[in-house]
Structure 1
Amino acid sequence: MTLYLLLVAVVVAERLAELVTARRHRAWSLARGAREYGRGHYPAMVALHTALLVGCVVEPWAAHRPFVPLLGWSALAVAVAAQGLRWWCVAALGPRWNTRVLVVPGLPLVAAGPYRYLRHPNYVAVVAEGVALPLVHTAWLTALCFTVLNLVLLRVRIGCEDTALTEGGRLRAPASVPSAGAGA
């Protein structure tokens, strides 16, 4: 359990590094006239991700969850890969990456790095980590609860991002949504 607690502590440190990076990137974006979207769901996202980390510690301890080597080592590999994908996203977006939804006017959509292959690769990393990190030490209840709640939150978050990018002129509006000025 000690090594697992160390792993969770490393993930907590990584999250703190993300927040420092996001704060710096937020200042960069706002200085360039960025508009923020989705402030309403941001506290729920922070609470959910905090609950994931707390659950990763509490469930194995309180429920006496064992370390199951096949599951644990496989889940660790997925969790590490998720971190790699997350930081690949950060590197590809550069100062435009953030934990908040900020759109700087006039900047084109990023199509480099993992964004060449997926529209929302960071969320693939979030989903993979949300399942894998708890399962390293068989915290299946934490993995299940986080995954279900995260899917609900991601539906809101991805919709928010798509709206922000559509309004910012980077994505085309879906055919069912009339563009500004249509029909006038």
Structure 2
Amino acid sequence: MNPYTVLVLLVALERLAELVTAQRHARWSRARGGVERGAGHYPVMVALHTGLLAGCLLETGLLHRPFVPWLGWPALAVALAAQALRWWCITTLGPRWNTRVIVVPGLPLVDRGPYRWLRHPNYLAVVLEGLALPLVHGNWITAAVFTLLNWPLLVTRVRCENTALALGLATAG
């Protein structure tokens, strides 16, 4: 098994860890009156992120993409930085973090960690990873397709989250 395949499989394991964490956090949120919004786009998001990982492996294998050091090493650094940012978001939000949009009414917005500078820093991690992970091994088609398909999903997701957060905050007053 080549190192790139190992990297992609490690990212897949990380995604599974996220899903386990998200399920635990969903139970926590629902026990406190949390309401899910935007469940309709969730399967699309799961399919797209699964497709990213599959695309990385398929493009490398089918098109015999070589590792190009001048592109691969910086892309690896960006992909790892994206993972670090993602887990910084997860640890900052604690049980409020989820892969779904579940807002517990009355809880204030988090304004520490990466949320001090960005409203949706996890989506920066998604964008960076969607570009960088495929480019570690020169998979420019996967990077381009994921980015193009992810853009409207991110717009939908951010609107959904902003609406859900506004509704959650409104119920506090």
Shift of 1:96: 0.2
Q: Which amino acid aligns with 1:99?
A: T
- Using the size of structure 1 for normalisation, the TM-score is 0.91
Q: Distance in 2 between matches of 1:104 and 1:120?
A: 17
Give unpaired runs (5+ residues) of structure 1: 171-184
> Superposed, which structure 2 residues align to 1:76-155 within 5 Å?
76-155=76-155
- Using the size of structure 2 for normalisation, the TM-score is 0.97
Q: Distance in 2 between matches of 1:105 and 1:123?
A: 23
Write the deviation string for residues 107-160 of structure 1: whole angstroms up to 9, x where unpaired.
000001000000000000000000000000001000000001111100000000
Q: Distance in 1 between matches of 2:105 and 2:41?
A: 22
Q: Distance in 2 between matches of 1:70 and 1:25?
A: 40
- Residue 41, structure 1, aligned to residue 52, structure 2: no
Shift of 1:169: 2.0
Q: Which amino acid aligns with 1:162?
A: N
Shift of 1:167: 1.2
- Where 1:14 maps in the other structure, the secondary structure is helix
Q: Is residue 107–residue 169 contact of structure 2 (8 Å, CA) maintained in 1? A: no
Give the structure 1 partner of residue 68 of structure 2: 68
Give the structure 2 partner of residue 56 of structure 1: 56
What is the number of equivalent residue pairs in this alignment? Answer: 170
More helix by share: 2
Q: Distance in 2 between matches of 1:106 and 1:160?
A: 18
Shift of 1:66: 0.9
- Residue 13, structure 1, aligned to residue 7, structure 2: no
Q: Distance in 2 between matches of 1:19 and 1:40?
A: 17
Q: What percent of counterpart residues are identical?
A: 67
